[in-house]
Structure 1
Amino acid sequence: MTTNDNNASHAESGNDRAAVLAQTQTWVEKAVIGLNLCPFAKAVQVKKQIRYTVTEATSVRELHTILSDEIQLLLEADPALIETTLLIHPHVLNDFLDFNDFLDVADELLEELDADGVLQIASFHPDYQFAGSKPDDIENYTNRSPFPTLHILREESIDRAVDSYPDTDDIFQKNMDTLNKLGLDGWKKLFVEPSAE
């Protein structure tokens, strides 16, 4: 997590970042892994190879700079230590259409940094909406995260995962089936803390 928590003046924002991080990790554990939306996520989570970066960027320019830094970091990092990065940006690109437009900028950045073909960026957003779907369609929740999030992945890891998983083409349909059975109420219940007795 990107923080300046040593500085007392940043205590409040540090608490905000901690809350954002906690909600994102809960989503990964209960939805992405718990519902098996990504069959490859559990292994990297268990090995603590996911880098969670919460940024306070409030402009696209700031986010672009931070994304560039995160791409460079992942390119240079040992995959055994950092396999993948979730860049969480709660204060910028909260409008899904703006976020969606930024994905082209993110892909251009991969090319500029000679990372195209080495890394790729997946996208998650609280208002994620697949083309042709309605805003409340449960299928959209496969890509709905608590906050706007850019997921930087290693192409090599994706290739390995695809080789080891017999039916990758079926993942999307299985996710649709899972969410349709769960329904919106079931999705919401995933994130309700059990009441203390």
Structure 2
Amino acid sequence: MNQPVTVSAAQAEADTRRWLELAVIGLNLCPFAKAVHVRGQIHYEVYLSPDESGLIDALVAEAKALREISAAERDTTLLIAPNTLTDFLDFNDFLARAERRLAREGFDGELQLASFHPQFQFAGTEADDITNATNRAPYPTLHLLREDSIDRAVEAFPDAEAIFGRNIETLEKLGPSGWEALDVGPGAAR
């Protein structure tokens, strides 16, 4: 298991914002991200502890906060965990526990959990396959999305199911050197 490197909250948030702006929005990996970013409706929260059980509690607290705030003010939350779950397999195991906890807390049908990890790897791909970059962020990141907002975005984007395929094509054209040139990894926003 990899030992986590201690990263400050300010650095983790800055790196994540850079990744969102240059990769997610810049490459149009998520056609829905730009609008909420421009309107300031993304909440960034950084969890600094290496304790993964506390991360589930932080996720539930962020889900409750998202529920209490109007979508016009905060449409989505990125919970960034730079100092824990640095191993992708451990992160994947954690996701199953986190989703069960959110369900027990009553968020089914209201919020969805998406995830990003610096070592993300699709089943059946090699670790260095560029297509894995579609789900790679500088740090382990839990993304809480309102299901109502997802439904509205999908209605407005008639070919939503084609996003994944288009992202794969984009990254294959960009290639590993192009991804590297984006400089969206940890510590890039210095």
TM-score, structure 1 as length reference = 0.88
Letter in 2 for 1:155: E
Counterparts of 2:56 and 2:8 in 1: how far apart (Å)?
Answer: 21
How far off its partner does 1:161 sit? Answer: 0.6
- Greater RCO structure (CA 8 Å; 6+ sep): 2
Supply the distance in 2 between the matched residues of 1:164 and 1:113 (Cα, whole angstroms). Answer: 30
Q: Does 1:149 align with 2:141?
A: yes
Determine helix, strand or coil for the equivalent of 2:99.
helix
Aligned to 1:10: none
Residue of 42, 47, 67 corresponding to 1:50:
42
Matched residue, 1:91: 83
Which blocks of at least 5 consecutive residues in structure 2 are unaligned? Answer: 1-5
Residue 122 of structure 2: SS of its match in structure 1? coil
Q: Deviations over 1:91-129 (max 9, x none)?
A: 111100010011111111121111111001001000000
Q: Structure 1: state its 5+ residue gaps.
A: 1-12
Instruction: Report how many aligned residue pairs link the two structures.
Output: 180
CA contact (8 A) 2:8 2:48 kept: no
Structure 2 residue aligned with 1:40 = 32
Q: Would you say the 8 A contact 2:13–2:44 is kept in 1?
A: yes
| Corresponding position of 1:135 | 127
Report how far residue 62 of structure 1 moved: 1.1
* Distance in 2 of aligned mates of 1:106 and 1:116: 12
Which has the greater radius of gyration? 1
> Normalization by structure 2: what TM-score?
0.92
Residues 1:100 and 2:92 aligned together: yes
How many percent of aligned residue pairs carry the same amino acid? 53
Mapping for residues 169-184 of structure 1, pairs under 5 Å: 169-184=161-176
